[in-house]
Amino acid sequence: MGDRSMEDKLEEVLKQYPCEVRTRRRTRGAFLLETDQGLRLLKEYSVSQARIEFEERIKQLLGQQGGLLVDHTYKNNREEYFTKDNYRNNWVMRRWYAGNECDIRDQRCVLRCASYLGRLHALMQLGNEEGESYIRKESVQQEMERHNKELKRVRSYIRSKKQKNEMEICLLGSYDLFYDQACLAQTLLQESGYEALWQETLEQGKVRHGSYSYHNVLFVGKDLAITNFDRAEIGIQVRDLYDFLRKVMEKNGWQAEFGKSLIDAYDRERKLEETERRVLYAMLLYPEKYWKLVNFYYNSRKSWMSSKNLEKLLRIRAQEEKRAYFLRELRPLLCGAC
């Protein structure tokens, strides 16, 4: 019944586009279509008209001004971005590419991705004429402050328990180290000139991708295609670089020289301001993985200990020596004597 229902939805949607579908197969949360006009990605997408127009405006900037490959959304026979199925759900059809995702352990691939991110950021400026609804609601400063309060709350909760499981004992045993890092990161961010950077971001309408990961970069011959702008927003662009750098370093043992090369690759395409370097260092110093695990623990069934989460915590602790060395090595590059 479920397959039949999905088949009906797809048929209803596809007949509203001016292309002939030759083959289709399921992919991550969508359908990959081979059509007479090339590859397409069809997915259910529930956002507002204003939101999709914001995303397409960004893609137009990248495609028309930068010559970059992106996943443009095609309009249907009625010249609309959204196509409804017989259950009134919205679908979109995007351009897609035959290529491979970035191999996060291949340094050459990763450095090209970092370089492309710099190119993206140099182009993604909308001015102050549009996009007000898609300004990041919470600044990095506010987020760090909130996270630090949550860390203290969880520590107080665990301390109050008479019987503590292995996960809770391990969380407490790591707390001082990571909480000290969190507080120092918050202080460094406050002293970095972040507020001025935030105001500049708003005035110039600087946009960040919001989900720039190895999953969303495809190697297409000699080119790269950037996809999935679903989380794009007006916000501090260096946060994209932080997200990408942190994930790459976690998978590559926090190799300091590799990290420096990645930052340099970005910097050659878009020069990092001194303030941005300081902000980047503060974000790298913040123990985000530890906070995520603590937050997940607190918001789940605390009486039940997940062996998987305990393994994650032990892995975070085991990586800390390499991470600390990485931070020491990058500090002169990013913030000098800060």
Spacing of C-alpha 240 from chain mean position: 6
Q: Which helix (H) or strand (E) holds 101?
A: strand 100-101
The confidence score (pLDDT) of residue 298 equals 87
**Cα 292 from Cα 143, distance rounded (Å):** 13
Given pLDDT bands bounded at 50, 70 and 90, which one contains residue 147?
very high
How does 132-158 read in b/e, with b if 16+ C-beta sit within 10 Å? eebebeebbbeebbebbeebeebbeeb
In the predicted structure, residue 300 carries a pLDDT above the cut 90: no
In the predicted structure, residue 324 carries a pLDDT above the cut 50: yes
Of all residues in the chain, the percent with pLDDT exceeding 70 is 95
β-pairing, 90-95 with 38-44?
antiparallel
Given pLDDT bands bounded at 50, 70 and 90, which one contains residue 337?
low
The confidence score (pLDDT) of residue 335 equals 84
In the predicted structure, residue 235 carries a pLDDT above the cut 80: yes
Q: Which helix (H) or strand (E) holds 23?
A: strand 21-27
The confidence score (pLDDT) of residue 129 equals 64
**What would the pLDDT profile of 97-118 be if each residue is shown by its tens digit?**
999 999 999 999 999 999 999 9
End-to-end CA distance of the chain: 62
* Average pLDDT of every residue of the chain: 92
In the predicted structure, residue 241 carries a pLDDT above the cut 70: yes
* Per-residue CA distances from 102 to 216, 250, 251 (Å): 8, 15, 13
Architecture of the CATH domain 2-96: 2-Layer Sandwich (3.30)
In the predicted structure, residue 1 carries a pLDDT above the cut 50: no
In the predicted structure, residue 191 carries a pLDDT above the cut 60: yes
In the predicted structure, residue 26 carries a pLDDT above the cut 70: yes
- Domain locations in the chain as residue ranges: 2-96, 138-206+237-335
The confidence score (pLDDT) of residue 179 equals 98
In the predicted structure, residue 131 carries a pLDDT above the cut 60: no
Between 180 and 203, where is the model more confident?
180
Q: What is the mean pLDDT of residues 40-60?
A: 95
In the predicted structure, residue 2 carries a pLDDT above the cut 90: no
- DSSP class of residue 19 equals S
Two tokens at 6?
């999905």
The confidence score (pLDDT) of residue 258 equals 98
pTM value surpassing 0.85? yes
**Cα 65 from Cα 63, distance rounded (Å):** 6
Two tokens at 274?
């001194």
- Residue among 247, 144, 249 nearest 192 (CA): 144
Within 10 angstroms of residue 59's Cβ, the number of other Cβ atoms is: 21
The confidence score (pLDDT) of residue 87 equals 86
In the predicted structure, residue 277 carries a pLDDT above the cut 60: yes
Spacing of C-alpha 268 from chain mean position: 21
With a CB cutoff of 8 Å and minimum separation 6, the contacts of 135 are 202, 233, 234, 235
Asked if 2-96 and 138-206+237-335 have one fold, the answer is no
Q: What is the mean pLDDT of residues 280-298?
A: 95
Given pLDDT bands bounded at 50, 70 and 90, which one contains residue 302?
low
User: Which fold would CATH assign to domain 138-206+237-335?
Assistant: Aminoglycoside 3'-phosphotransferase; Chain: A, domain 2 (3.90.1200)
The lowest-confidence range among 113-117, 179-183, 245-249, 291-295 is 291-295
Q: What is the mean pLDDT of residues 245-265?
A: 97
Given pLDDT bands bounded at 50, 70 and 90, which one contains residue 96?
very high
Q: What is the mean pLDDT of residues 72-96?
A: 95
In the predicted structure, residue 3 carries a pLDDT above the cut 90: no
In the predicted structure, residue 57 carries a pLDDT above the cut 60: yes
In the predicted structure, residue 76 carries a pLDDT above the cut 70: yes
Q: What is the mean pLDDT of residues 209-229?
A: 95
